Amino acid sequence: MQGPAFVKINEVSLVYQQQEEQTLAVEGLNIDIQEGEFVAVVGPSGCGKSTLMKLVTGLLNCTQGSITIGGKPVNGPVQGVGMAFQNSTLLPWRSTLDNVMLPLEIVEPHKRLLRKQKKMYIEKALDLLGTVGLRDFADKFPWQLSGGMQQRANVCRSIIHEPRLLMLDEPFGALDAFTREELWGVMQDLWMKKKFTAILITHDLREATYLADRVFVMSKRPGKVILAKEIDIPRPRTLDTTFEPHFGEIVHELREHIHEVRVS
C-alpha cells in the first residue's frame, strides 16, 4: 500500500505477567493500516486478538516494539477512539439517545459546545440513529430494545464523536445469524459514509471478508500475523456477494490458514 501508515504496529510483543507465570500473548507483530482503511483480524480463540485491540488503544502497554497512530506514539490510553464490544455496555438508566450522546459529554471539543449547541447535537445523534433504523427508538431504554437494536445503538455511540479510528471487538458475535448479516450492511454503509479507519476483531471469516479491505490471520499464542489477505471485492458488497464463488474462495483460503495454525 502507498503513503505512510495511519496505524503502524511495529515488532510489537506483549508479555502478560501473572504472579510467577509469564505468558507471551503476542510476538513480533507487524501491521500497517492506511487512513480510512477497514481491516479485520481473525484467528483461533486465545490468539491475542483482543490483546491487540487493547494495545492499539493504549489500554495495555507493549513490552517490546512500538505503535503509532497518525505518527504519534501510543503510550497510555489513546483519546477519542471509538470502541464497540460484543457486550453492548449501554447504560440502562439512559435512553437510547442519551446513551449515543455519552461520548459528546466527554470528548473535546463537543464537551465544551454541547450545552450551547444541544439542539444541533441532538439532531446529529437522531440522524445517526436514523441511518441504522433506530430513530423511532431514541426515547426507549436499552432493555426495551432487542439485542440487534442494542448493538446498532452501541455502534452509533462508538462513532458519534467522529473518531478517526474505530475499534470493533466482535461487535456482532452475540447476535443471531440473520441480524448479524443485516448489521454487516449497516456497518458498511456507515463506514462508506463517514470514512473512518476501522479495525474489526472477529472469528467469523465471512464477516471479515464482507466488511474488510484487508484481513489479517493470526496464529495461535503467541500471536503473530501469518497472512495478510487483500479482499478485492468491489463495494458496496451485499448479501448476494457472499454467495459468489470468489467470495467463497477467499473465505476458504482464510479457513485453510486458520486450520493449519490450529492443528500445528
Partner 1 sequence: MNEKTLIKLMPWLVTIGLFLLWEIICVVTRVETFILPAPTVVFQAMVKFAPQIAHHSLQTLMTTTAGFALGVIGGGLLGVFIGASRLVYVGLYPVLVGFNSIPKVALVPVLVIWFGIGTVPAIITAFVISFFPIVVNVATGLATIEPELRDVLRSLGASKTEILTKVGLPRAMPYLFASLKIAITLAFVGSVIAETVASNEGIGYLMLSASSSYNVPLVFAGLIVVAVMGVVMYAVAVWFERRMTGWAFRGSDLMS
Check residue 81 for interaction with partner 1 (CB under 8 A): yes
Q: Which stretch binds partner 1 (CB under 8 A): 26-34, 37-45, 61-69, 71-79?
A: 71-79
- Name residue 230's amino acid: E
Within 166-225, which residues bind partner 1 (CB under 8 A)? Answer: 167
Q: Which is nearer to partner 1, 170 or 207 (CB)?
A: 170
The answer to whether 225 and 9 are in contact (CB under 8 A) is no
Cβ atoms within 10 Å of 61's Cβ, excluding its own: 12
Using CB under 8 A as the binding criterion, the count of chain residues that bind partner 1 stands at 28
| Rounded Cα gap, residues 99 and 141, in angstroms | 9
Q: How far is the CB of 149 from partner 1 (least distance, A)?
A: 16
Residue 218: partners with Cβ closer than 8 Å, 6 or more residues away:
41, 42, 43, 44, 47, 48, 49, 52, 224, 225, 226, 261
Q: Which is nearer to partner 1, 161 or 214 (CB)?
A: 161
Sign of the alpha-carbon torsion through 194, 71, 234, 187: negative
| Beta strands at 72-73 and 64-69: parallel, antiparallel or unpaired | antiparallel
Q: How far is the CB of 68 from partner 1 (least distance, A)?
A: 17
Within 107-166, which residues bind partner 1 (CB under 8 A)? Answer: 107-108, 141, 143, 158, 161
Q: Which stretch binds partner 1 (CB under 8 A): 27-35, 54-62, 112-120, 194-202?
A: 54-62
Find the DSSP H helices in 132-244: 147-159, 177-194, 205-211
- Residue from the set 46, 61, 73, 106 that interacts with partner 1 by CB under 8 A: 106
Residues in touch with partner 1 (CB under 8 A): 54, 57-59, 77-83, 85, 87, 89, 91-93, 102-103, 105-108, 141, 143, 158, 161, 167
